[in-house]
Structure formats: C-alpha cells, structure tokens
Structure 1
Amino acid sequence: MPTTLPTFALLWDESHLWGLLAWRGLCALGARPHLLRAADVAAGALDRLRPSVLVVPGGWAGRKAQALGDAGREALRRYVETGGTYLGFCGGAGLALHRTDATALLGLCELRRKSASKRLPNCSGHVYCRLHVPQHPASAALLPVWWPSQFDLTDAAIHVLATYQRPGPDFWVADLPLADIASDELAAWEAIYGINLHPRWLEGDPCILRAPFGAGSAILSYAHLETPASPQANALLATLLGLPAAPIPMWDIRHISPAWEDTALSAMHAALLHLIALGERHFLLNWRTPWLLGWRRGVPASHLTTLLAMLSTALSLSVSPSTRRWWQTQSPRCLELCQKLCEETARYLVQERRSMTQNPSSPEYGGGALTSMRQRLFGPFPGYGGIYGQILQILDELLAKILLETTDLKV
C-alpha cells in the first residue's frame, strides 16, 4: 500500500552556501523541498502549506531573524506551536533560541548560546558523538560540524539527541588540523591565538536537541547532518525526517557540467578558481573537500567558497526563459563586480601573505590597512557586505528563482 511522504519546506533567506547544502541533502533523500522566502512566511505561507517539517539551514541567525521581521517570526512561532516541526542546522538552530530585548530570535526554547570564553569558538570537521535517538539503529555516529556555537543547556524539558564525545580524524581548531598538534602543545597555541583550542570545551556537550513548543517541536542541530558524503550523519538526518536512508553524494563545486550556457556565470566561476589557485600558491588556501575551502586564520575564504558554490549550482540546473531574461538584466553588473572583487582580492591575498611572513607569530588579521581592505571587499565580521555582499544579493535572487521552478533535482 503506497505511503505519502511528509512535505518539507526550506527557509531560503540568509542561507547561501548552507541553503544549497540543505537543498541538496533533502533532494538526495528523495524529498523535494518547497522553497520559502522570508516574505512568504510573513505573508502566511506556513499556514497555507503546513509542511510536516520546516528546515532552516545554517547562516547568521541574526540576519535570518531580521529578514523574517516581526510578522515572519510570529508566523513561524505559530506554525511550530500548532503542531509543526522545525529543524534548524547551526545558524538555523541559533535562530530558534531564547529571544531577549537585544536579540529578536524565535524563542522556541529557553536555551541560549554559551559565551565564547566557555566554548570551543572556532572548530570544524567530524566529531564522534553519542546518540540518544530511539528510532535510529545506531547509538554512536561520526557527525560533521562547521564552525558551530554551543548550547547552554539549562532546561530539563529539552531532550538531548546527541552529545559530543571526541574529535574525528579531520577535525580542525581554528586553522590547525588537531591531529597534527600534540595535546601538550595546545596551550602554547592558545596563548598565540587568544581563544580556546582544546577539544575538552566540546566533549560531553549537547550537539542535537529536541525542544517541545506548544503542540510542535524544534530539532536544533549544531551538526550539519546534510553534509555531502558523511554517511552516518546522512542516515541520522533520514531518521529524524522519517525518510528512507540514502547517501548524500559528494559535491564538487570546482568542476561543473553546465545545464545551460551563460558566459557571465562561466567567466565568474573561472575567475574565482583562478583567485583560489593564487591563494593556494601563497599557502593561504587549501581544499579540505571538493565543496569546502580551508584557510589561514583571518583570510575570508568562506566567502569564496560560497560564491563558487552558488555559481556552480546556477550553471548546473536548467533555467526557465523568464529567469534567463531576468538574469540578462543583472549579469553585466554582477560580472563587473565579480571581476573587481577577484582583482582586488588577489592584491589583498598577496599583502596578507607578506604580513604573515613579517609577523609569523600573529596569524590573525595583520593591521588596520589589511582590515580596511578586507572590509571593503567582504564587509565587517560577523556577517558580510562590501563588493561581495552586492554579488551575493544578485546570485541569491537568481538561485531562488532557479530552485523555485526547477524540476531537475540532480545533486
């Protein structure tokens, strides 16, 4: 007897790379997510659609909250309170946390983030985790995290679904592969970097939680279960979504098989690859996986990863005539901005290399001039802006149009 699979919605705004990662993951599991914009949510789309699960990808939680606005945040709270399920990854998990006068988050639970001094503030890679998911066949899993925060767990009503145990083989703290650093040397590195680097700040902490909210619930995960080619994480994601287990294939954003020809997108993709190769030559960038750059501390390579992923996706999916016409009105400006970004970032990277050579004991930033260059190109941290932000806005709109209309779910 045929069964009806649950419906899924994906909140797109302020997700960028992480939105694409979530979209790919859901498609690989056989679920075609309904893309929702923040304006749709504010206008009542969740009341009409009533998805079984609303997936909120990573990204900056504050920017997501701002994009939703008062109406969108209240609509989203109402959806969960009346029986909906919220699944937030990383920044999407942060969006659901306790709201105060200073932070207009969703307040789906009373949890807050740990302060940076009480957590491991800059880590990435896989972690061995203990699972507490009755319907899942395994009691442990190797789960990936990509620069997560950490929960300050104070509410006994919240069910812990996974806890961190110990670092996996590809785990980094800041820009240091942890497996290469002797444990008795970490204190010296911490003195240089000025932040916690020892994995003890992570071990035993909750990684995935389920919080009740009215008739619904929020699943909050600092683990990116949608990470490509992470089979144990992918299997856990399928369990949490009530879907048959399936692998999420590796994603190579460097090599593409174009579904349509566009000289501007192809030129931007090639220019970014050329820029990244320059960064590799100067020991500032490296490929950790085919979809993710690694970088020397302070280098804004996550932004380059994001742009390359967006361009790769835009070229790899078929495009309707109306979206082509819209893109033709935007592509000259976007190409011009991208060329400018790549030219100026190439100069910035060489100056960054010189600064790091002159000051090898100070891997972060490198003075006011470099900070000014970086902010003009990519905007202030945390967040984004500058020339990069202008490109991002155009590509984000292009991808939203493509994903809303595509029937081509190849991942």
Structure 2
Amino acid sequence: MTSNKAAVLWDESHLWGLTALRALRHKGLLYDLVRAEDIRSGALEDRALLFVPGGWASNKLKALGDEGSSAIRSFVRGGGNYLGFCGGAGLATRDCLGLLPVERVPTAHRVPSFSGLISCTVDNHPMWDNIYRPIFHAWWPSQLRIAGEDIRICARYDRAMPDAYSSDIRVGSLTAGEEWTAKETAYGINLNPERLAGEPAVVEGEYGKGRVLLSLLHFDTPDDARGNRVLRKLWTYMGGTCRTDTPEAVSPKRFAPEAAPLMREAHALIATGEALGLWHWRTPWVLQWKRGVRGLEYCTLANMAVSIAEHLGQRFAENVPAPLVKELHHLAGIFAAFRGRAEELLRKEHAAIQQGLISFDTSDDPALQDLRRALFGSAKSHGGEFKALLDEIDVFLYHLMV
C-alpha cells in the first residue's frame, strides 16, 4: 500500500511544481511526489488522486511516454481522479492524454500572455463554498474549447484586475478598447483581457469511472489565501487527505553555505536583467519582464537554486556530504557557462528593444537569433543549453525532496 492517497507528478513542473508543493504543505495536504518513471512502474496503484501542476503539457507528455500516458488513462478509467492546473490541465485535453473532450484554443485565437488576478463567475460546485469573491490567479494560461458533451463548466473568466498584466502591459494602464486594439496591432497578438470574458476557467467531467477536474486558475499560488482554500477543498473532494493534527511550526530558513556558488550564479543573472531594465520582481517568486525577452525561464532557475539551498540546509544541519558538494560545484560550473552566454543574449536583446518592439522569437539580428536558438531552442516550451542545465538542476533538487 502507498503511504498517501494522492500522488503529485513532478516531471516538467519546475517553478510551478515548487509553488504547488509550497501550497500543499501550507494547507496540510498529504501527497507523495512521483516522476514519470514511477508512474510507468505502477506508482498510481492504490491511489485515489493524481495531481499534475503547471508546466508545459507537451514536455510532460514526452516525459510520460506512451507507457506512462497509458498508465494514467488506466488509473482514471478504473476510478482514480485527475486534478490538473494550467499545464496539468492541458495535459488532460484531447490532443494529449484525451481524458476529456476538451481542446486547447490555438495561440492565434486566444490571449496568450495574460497573468495575474481575474474575477470569475462560478456555479454551485462545492469548491466554491464560502468563497464570496471568486478572484483568483491565472499565470499565462491556455484557453479551453469544449468539444463534447457532459462537461461541467465550474467557472468562467469575468474581469481582469487592474494590477494584472497582458504581456508587459499593466491592465489598469489602458482603459479604452481602442488603446488595446492599437497595442494588439503593434504586438501582433491578442492582448485585451476582455476577450477572456465568459471563457471556461475550470471544467469537470468523467473518464471511465474516474473524475477529471481541470483548472486554468492557479489555486496553488503562494500566499493566496482564497485560492489555497479552494485547493484544500478540491483535495478532499478529489479523494486526497489532509493532516488532522496541527502542522509543525515553520522553522527559519537555513541556506546551506555549500550552495552559495549556485546561488551566486542565479542572483548574478537576475541582477544583469534588472540592471538592463528588462525585468523586475513582481512577487518574491516571479519576474515581470519586457516583451522581447524570456523571463520565466530565468526566474525558474533562480527559484530552483534557492530551493536547493533551502533543502540542503534543512536536511543537513552541519556539513553537506562530499558527493553532493561535488555535484553542486558541477551545477555551478555549467550554470556559469550558461550565464555568460545568457548575459550576452540579454545585452543584444536590450539593444534590439531600443530600436523597436521585438518578440521572444523574432529579430532582424541573425547573431541574436542564433544565440537564442543555441540557448533555448526554437520552441516557446524551451530547449537548448537552458533545458540541459534545467534538467540537471531538476534531478538534483528532486532527490533532495523525496
């Protein structure tokens, strides 16, 4: 028998996995952290719930492979429940796992760069009990199109809050529709958050004997008391369990000094972007960046470096074992190599932005484009040297957490 009824899929969640686990721990929700290889080996047996946090759905699907995807379908078909947020919701759609007759709206027809608080209209689902102002966070979500019957729409988007952003534009800074139209023409994408009004934000349906609930809203956003209350209700509704005792007091954070070289690399990279005026910290854990550069990738590295330092400090009161120190030096070394090239890219992007608007994947500078492809690949879901570095950091961090 497994120790907890709920499993959380870690693969390809990165920043969104960290924020999700923080919320789960804060609310006393019990879970076991698993990887795709565990699912392929039967980790969902005797479970009631699989929770898939945010992150690129296409990367998650690749990590699972055919065998892991089949295992999830069998789990839900046999009566297990599936809860997916954002990218975890996308993973369950028709073109991925196919758990529900729901499709993702193509990028050209949606608002692809919305982030922040948005109000919703909700139905009478028990997750909304005692939620009197349904205002929640969405972080660069996809959009869903209902493509079949028997799908319950539990929430729809209503109105974006003034401090939300569409790309790098604060929603409250534009008021007239004509202003949004002008920006959309300049940026070449849909920006006006009013386009989201009435679109599905949370849906529920069945696959075989199991329940599937997909949310584009991040109820696992750090320090979001309202969203975290919904998360706790969903956890029990979907078959998960919660602590019945009083959670232990959170001990002061202790960063292992052995992780200092890795932390320095992350902080230096973020500082370069700040000095160039390309981004600033929007919250303690996520950047707000200018159009034309990648920002989520860089703050993901920074958050994961900090998490490594925290976990090492918690697990090893005194000295970190020598093999881990050796691995930390290796990670810091490849991070340093990446940082040097990333800072070169940021300086090139900064110069290009001074000449006019650019996007993350287009520029008139061939050298800039070549460097982008080397560092991040050609897909928005990232690749290249960044993905190689991220994967090594991810494996190291995962083994500290389990």
TM-score over 0.5 for the pair: yes
- The Cα RMSD (Å) is 2.3
Q: Does 1:169 align with 2:162?
A: yes
Query: Which residue of structure 1 aligns with residue 247 of structure 2?
Result: none
Q: Does 1:331 align with 2:322?
A: no
- TM-score, scaled relative to structure 2: 0.89
Equivalent of 2:61 in 65, 82, 96: 65
Q: Does 1:14 align with 2:7?
A: no
SS for the counterpart of 2:22 is helix
Q: Does 1:261 align with 2:257?
A: yes
1:295-314 equivalence runs, <5 A: 295-314=289-308
1:50-199 equivalence runs, <5 A: 50-99=46-95, 105-135=96-126, 136-138=129-131, 140-183=133-176, 184-199=178-193
1:325: Cα distance to partner? 5.1
Partner letter of residue 333 of structure 1? H
CA contact (8 A) 1:130 1:140 kept: no
CA contact (8 A) 1:356 1:366 kept: no
1:344-370 per-residue CA deviation (whole Å, 9 max, x = no partner) reads 222221221111112x24455433321
1:230-269 per-residue CA deviation (whole Å, 9 max, x = no partner) reads 2221111111112779xxxxxxxxxx9335331xx32222
CA contact (8 A) 1:16 1:310 kept: yes
Give % identity: 33
1:57: Cα distance to partner? 0.9
1:341-398 per-residue CA deviation (whole Å, 9 max, x = no partner) reads 222222221221111112x244554333212212222333222222222221111111
Query: Which residue of structure 1 aligns with residue 345 of structure 2?
Result: 348
Partner letter of residue 171 of structure 1? A
Q: Does 1:233 align with 2:227?
A: yes
1:23-56 per-residue CA deviation (whole Å, 9 max, x = no partner) reads 1111111023201110110111111xx2332110
- Unpaired segments ≥5 residues, structure 1: 100-104, 246-255, 405-411
Query: Which residue of structure 2 aligns with residue 102 of structure 1?
Result: none
- Unpaired segments ≥5 residues, structure 2: 244-251
- In the aligned structure 2, how far is the partner of 1:156 from the partner of 1:107? 14
Query: Which residue of structure 2 aligns with residue 219 of structure 1?
Result: 213
Partner letter of residue 44 of structure 2? L
Partner letter of residue 212 of structure 1? E
Partner letter of residue 52 of structure 2? V
1:307-322 equivalence runs, <5 A: 307-317=301-311, 318-319=314-315
- CA 1:351 to 1:329, structure 2 compared with 1: closer, same or farther past 3 Å? same
Query: Which residue of structure 1 aligns with residue 373 of structure 2?
Result: 375
- In the aligned structure 2, how far is the partner of 1:30 from the partner of 1:162? 25
- In the aligned structure 1, how far is the partner of 2:79 from the partner of 2:382? 35
Partner letter of residue 288 of structure 2? G
- In the aligned structure 1, how far is the partner of 2:222 from the partner of 2:324? 29
CA contact (8 A) 1:10 1:34 kept: yes
Once the two structures are overlaid, the 10-residue window that deviates more, 154-163 or 9-18, is: 154-163
- In the aligned structure 2, how far is the partner of 1:299 from the partner of 1:157? 41
